[in-house]
Chain A
Amino acid sequence: MTLFALLLSVAMGIGSLAWGYAQAGLMSFARWIVIFGALWLIAIWRRWRWFSYVGLAFNFLAAALGLWMLDFAPGWMFAGAIGGLLAWDLTDFRYRLRFAASDEERHAVETRHLRRISLLALVGFGLASLAMIIKFQFNFEWALLLTIVSALGIIQLVNWFRKRTY
């Protein structure tokens, strides 16, 4: 079940990005994205877990590039990025699943995880789309506030994380 979901999320992520780029007429970019997707599938087959990190970064950067420089339709780009996030998550989850002793145990953990990650992906996609619909003027004051909030937030997160893992 996890493998199927993983393959589906890679296909969704890569397919959305490639489709978005292809629709804008950038066929060579789309081709490279598909080639990367094929490489990702090989990495799944070979169990190269590190490749999912590359995949996640690649999907988000490709989506950001499409949104910023080429002004693509955000729907495909968001779908591509979320597909990458799902694939990255499921790769690690698949590795953790090796501890499951029986099919019942595996099935229970898989069901729980897939339910939560799907819900999270939907909420994330929904919120991102909502943010695109409710547009506001992105002026310098907003940017400054956002920078301060983000920096503090990330510092807080890292501290929190360090305290909790020992």
Chain B
Amino acid sequence: MSRAIFLGLLIFFLLLASLVTLHGAILALTIPLFLYLFYGLWRGPENVKFRVHRELSAERVAPQTPVKVTLTVTNLGTDIEELSVEDVISPALNITDGSNRHLISLGKDASFTFDYTVSGPRGGFPFETIHTEAGDHFGLSRVTQDIRTFGQLFVFPSIARIKRVPIRPRRTRVYSGTIPARAGGVGVEFFGVRDYESGDSPRQINWHVSARYPDELFSSEYQQERVADVGIVLDGRERSNLFAGGHTLFEHSVLAAGALADALLAQGNRVGLLVYSAYLHWTFPGYGKLQRERILHALSHAEPGASQIFEGLQYLPTRMFPIESQIVLVSPLLQDDFPTLVQLRARGYQVMVVSPDPVAFEQSYLPRRHEVELAARVVRMERDLMLKKVQRAGVQVIEWNVEQPFDQATRKAFARRVQMTGRV
């Protein structure tokens, strides 16, 4: 019940009592209540109108980076005796300095500026509402307003820099890049020998072969290097990412996906991102810095989720990825994911799995007991067996112990891969 109505009812009751009893003292008792009510309503806000301006010191930051928010409220209406202003922020954000709400008295055309500092985890946080409550000193009449504003803070995952991700899809695009295209032409790597054609540079002539045939000349061909289509699939299924006690590998998977996307885009490739979670979130493939930004936005909003449909990887929409392109799956991997990986390979995709190690991760926070060690050994054997099967199916597997930074952990694995593919 409103305070003013309650007071009014009390006054009315006392008036009635004084009339019934014809007792003047009871009537006199209503005087303080009348005064209180009149003063409160008289001084209450009449025309409530504000102009607000918010400024964020940064709109794109790394997790837990402090961001200063400055808010200015200008009163365009009449004097307000008591004004509470609250800049409504996401509960996930942490206020590290200052306060997002204030209680002030604001005269006509006066302004009030305050600032506070927030930091938060990965995600996109809207700053859209400023809640104001204007009233008199006694709180009898309150005018509440939610002022809509525009503002957003993006907390992107901290991305490790990887120099090169060695991929070798069967099909490449026409633009020159860094991926061996299995076709002769201009390049660095030796590809083969063909008949000399007029216009070939003398430096291209393969003298060793030509020496065996006195009447003919042969030219060396080099492997063309082009860009490729790469689809990064981020596994956000709860059943593969969440562990007992609320521990999750998903944040690590996001970091890995971000680092891979960054490196692959830097190599000039056309990269798309699919977040496979409670629903599918597809970032259409693209090139360059703009695409990097799009992928970072998608990653900042990515959340693990559970869904009956996307419980397994069998509903991975392969049509989204060009035929014979490269698929990079970032997933802790489950036993029943193996058939899907085999199917992808059968369809001609080149598949790389970057797998944050769930066994080491779970072991890291469990007590060091004999039973835990034994269980970990059994699970480790099962996982190793599965990974071997996956590798035997022609899938490149990179296992990542998340205790190590991603760039360090993958440096060795990617270097080995470079040697295998003959690149330096």
**Residues of A with Cβ closer than 8 Å to B?**
53, 56-57, 60, 63-64, 67-68, 74, 77-78, 81-82, 85, 89, 92-93, 96-97, 99-102, 105-106, 108-109, 112-113, 116-117, 120-121, 123-125, 127-128, 131-132, 135-136, 138, 143, 146-147, 150, 154, 157-158, 160-161, 164-166
- Pick the contact of B23 from A67, A121, A125 — CB < 8 Å? A67
Q: Which residues of B contact A161 (CB under 8 A)?
A: 2, 4-5, 41, 140-141
Known: A154-B11, A164-B45. A74 touches B28 (CB 8 A): yes
List of B residues within 8 angstroms of A120 by Cβ:
32, 35-36, 39
Comparing B100-108, B202-210, B362-370, B382-390, the segment that makes contact with chain A is: B100-108
Q: Flag if B137 contacts A64 (CB, 8 Å).
A: no
Chain A residue at minimum C-beta to C-beta distance from B100: A101
Residues of B contacting A60 with CB < 8 Å?
10, 14, 29, 33
A128 adjacent to B10 (CB under 8 Å)? no
A74 to B3, CA, bound (A): 26
Report chain A residues within 8 Å CB of B17: 64, 68
Pairwise interchain contact B32-A81, C-beta atoms closer than 8 A: yes
Question: CB within 8 A of B31: which of A63, A92, A116, A127?
Answer: A127
Please measure, in the bound complex, the distance between the C-alpha atom of A106 and the C-alpha atom of B25, giving whole angstroms: 38
Inter-chain contact B6/A53, CB cutoff 8 Å: yes
Given known contacts A131-B24, A158-B5, A161-B41, A146 and B32 CB-to-CB distance under 8 angstroms: no
Q: State whether A154 and B27 are in contact (beta carbons under 8 Å apart), knowing that A101-B99, A105-B104, A161-B4 are contacts in the complex.
A: no
| Cross-chain contact of A99 among B5, B6, B101 (Cβ < 8 A) | B101
Contact A96 B139 (CB under 8 A): yes
Binary contact readout B103-146 vs A (1 if CB under 8 angstroms, 0 otherwise): 11100000000100000000000000000000001111111000
Main secondary structure of the interface of A (DSSP, over half): helix
A residues within 8 A CB of B139?
Answer: 89, 92-93, 96
A129 CB to nearest B CB, Å:
8
- State A80–B379 Cα separation when bound (angstroms): 75
**7 A-B pairs with C-beta separation under 8 A:** A57-B10, A85-B32, A101-B103, A109-B105, A120-B39, A127-B32, A165-B143
Contact among B22, B138, B141 for A138, CB-based, below 8 A: B22
Q: At the interface, yes or no: B405 with Cβ under 8 Å from chain A? A: no
Inter-chain contacts of B45 with A (CB < 8 A): 164
Nearest A residue (CB) for B101: A99
Q: Which residue of A lies closest to B26 (CB)?
A: A64
Bound-state Cα–Cα, A135 to B99, Å = 54
Question: A4 to chain B: closest CB distance in Å?
Answer: 19
Nearest-Cβ distance from residue A155 to partner chain B, whole angstroms: 10
Q: Is B280 an interface residue (CB 8 A)?
A: no
Q: A60-B10, A147-B19, A164-B44 are in contact. Are A99 and B138 (CB under 8 A)?
A: no
Interface, chain B (partner A; CB < 8 A) = 1-6, 8, 10-12, 14-15, 17-19, 21-29, 31-33, 35-37, 39, 41, 44-46, 82, 84-86, 98-99, 101-105, 114, 137-143
CA distance A57 to B13 in the complex (A): 10
Chain B contacts of A146 at CB under 8 A?
15, 18-19, 27
On chain A, the residues within 8 Å of B44 by CB distance are 164
Check if B27 sits within 8 Å of A131, measured CB to CB: yes
Whether the Cβ atoms of B5 and A113 lie closer than 8 Å is no
Cα–Cα distance between A103 and B400 once the two chains are bound (Å): 50
Give the CA-CA distance A117 to B142 in the complex, in Å.
18
Q: Which residues of B contact A78 (CB under 8 A)?
A: 28-29, 32
Within 8 Å by CB of A74, from B25, B46, B86, B143, lies: B25
Partner of A128, one of B2, B8, B19, B29: B29
Complex: A58 Cα to B84 Cα, angstroms = 31
Contacts of B85 in A (CB 8 A): 99
- In the complex, chain B residues whose CB is within 8 Å of the CB of A101: 98-99, 101-103, 114
Please give, as numbers and ranges, the residues of chain A lying within 8 Å of B24 by CB-CB distance: 131-132, 135-136, 138
Chain A CB within 10 Å, residue with most, of B35, B137, B141: B137
Inter-chain CA distance A92–B41, complex, in Å, is 16
Chain A nearest Cβ from B88, distance in angstroms: 13
Which A residues lie within 8 Å of B143 (CB)? 164-166
Residue of A74, A106, A157 ringed by the most chain B CB atoms within 10 A: A157
Residues in B neighbouring A164, C-beta threshold 8 A = 41, 44-46, 141, 143
A157 touches B8 (CB 8 A): yes
Q: Residue A127 contacts which of B4, B11, B35 (CB distance < 8 angstroms)? A: B35
Assess the A105–B46 pair: CB atoms within 8 A.
no
Task: Please state if B82 and A56 are interface contacts (CB–CB under 8 Å).
Answer: no
A112 to B104, CA, bound (A): 11
Measured between beta carbons, the chain A residues less than 8 angstroms from B5 are: 158, 161
Contact B22 A112 (CB under 8 A): no
Contact between chains at B102 and A100 (CB < 8 Å): yes
B8 touching A99, Cβ below 8 Å = no
CB contacts (< 8 Å) of B10 on chain A: these are 56-57, 60
